[in-house]
Copies of this chain bind each other. A is one copy, B any other.
């Protein structure tokens, strides 16, 4: 056997698994962008069939043997010093990740996998019905079932972690509740204070104008063109909920939506989803060679979100950006008389009931609430029936707003309806990571000679966002799953992940926004 034979065989196997996985993603894309509603039953069957085939591939004895043989070959090659250090570290990490994934997949009883798939589909359907009727009780038994099945899942996985932590691993590897509390505690204290401060000095902006669909499309197009879009390998479509997805090593898609009465919704969603896509486009997976290997993938949802938030909040909602774009908005019909007008309109800063529409200031509290509630449902004694009441209580305490009904309360997000517990914190971790990476980026740009108090703003004002992208590609994107989110932040910024950078960023932005209003 030559030195890489077993390794290549493993690669071929993973490649076929990825073919199947990306077919599944294509059906998901179609479901959200093209499929007529009545197609959902058959689509559900197609997706279950693929999920079953994928699970079978990922747990087959053939695969297990291929992985073991490749590992043996690798260890022999290491001791005979046939491989260089870079290849050794890459292969070692790939094996580690593959073994971890295999262990997870194999721990699960196939019956549970099927029950979960059905419970997710039911959960989603009942959640939709409940949301339409704005009545949690139509959804509560489905949610109870999902909670109990996912508890059983954590039980079968029997990792050395709590139930919630076990379920959070696929989104945020190595995360613990203890660490999360450390990171979120300063936010729980400071964010409500900042919100109060804003309330005192700034009156909310009420928008009374809108832009046509065509105008919004044109502004999005201009944005993407100046943010390195290559139409040869990217597609854009509409969907009820914007998302970003990668369907092949050279096939990147994002969706957006137009919300009547919200002239920035489409624009900012485009910026956000494009940020996700830019991360995917910079990963090692964007080559055929790496597309099948875990090392090629995104390391965590928190890091993913940090990239979308960087482009949405740090760039598109910045004053420099408004300086560059306000005339384009005016050209499309927006009643703005200067850059400051656009900037203020893009940064409304008023706490509301809805997470997706939340401003940078209150967003964190929406996440803190959800995180506490899902941990309580899975690990403490929060009864699913009591969720709406608890939800409303927390909203009143932390944000000072009370949902009028379940639809604008605990039924607003899709995540729990699909049994996705442990996902929400990634959104807030993304804010923290983005802020901390931005500070490192600023320092690094300053060192390389970019002028101005804030070198990132200088690049934005001059239309040089490609400099920011290059930095992210080189410092962040290229690592894939070589390290977890916290290790990545430590490597890039030289400091442990902390909430201080995010709070500092918010305080500074508020100061500027309120002194100008």
Contact = CB atoms under 8 A, between A and B. Distances in A.
Interface of A: 16, 19-20, 22-23, 26-27, 29-30, 33-39, 41-43, 45-46, 49-50, 230-235, 237, 247-253, 288, 291
B19 A232 contact: no
**Taking chain A's interface residues, is the majority helix, strand, or loop, or is none over half, making it mixed?**
helix
B232 A37 contact: yes
A46 to B, nearest CB: 5
A252 B251 CA distance: 25
28 contacts: A16-B49, A19-B45, A19-B46, A19-B49, A23-B23, A23-B50, A26-B27, A26-B46, A34-B235, A34-B237, A35-B251, A36-B231, A36-B232, A36-B234, A36-B252, A37-B233, A38-B232, A39-B233, A39-B247, A39-B248, A39-B250, A41-B248, A41-B288, A42-B247, A42-B248, A42-B251, A43-B251, A46-B248
A248 B49 contact: no
A250 to B, nearest CB: 4
A235 B19 contact: no
Contact of A253 (B34, B232, B291): B34
A46 B248 CA distance: 9
A34 B33 contact: yes
A41 B237 contact: no
Task: Give 4 closest A-B pairs by Cβ, nearest first.
Answer: A42-B248, A39-B251, A38-B233, A38-B250
A174 B26 CA distance: 37
Contacts of A247: 35, 39, 42
Nearest to A52: B16
Nearest to A16: B49
Contacts of A39: 233, 247-248, 250-251
A36 B235 contact: yes
Given A39-B247, A39-B250, A42-B248, 11 more contacts: A26-B46, A30-B30, A30-B34, A35-B247, A36-B231, A37-B233, A38-B230, A38-B250, A42-B249, A42-B251, A43-B251
A292 to B, nearest CB: 11
Nearest to A41: B250
Most buried by B among A26, A27, A230, A235: A26
A42 B22 contact: yes
B29 A248 contact: no
A19 B51 CA distance: 13
A97 B46 CA distance: 25
A282 to B, nearest CB: 16
Contacts of A231: 36
A249 B22 CA distance: 23
Contacts of A16: 49
Contact of A20 (B34, B49, B235): B49
Nearest to A231: B36
Contacts of A43: 248, 251
A27 B38 contact: no
Contacts of A37: 232-233
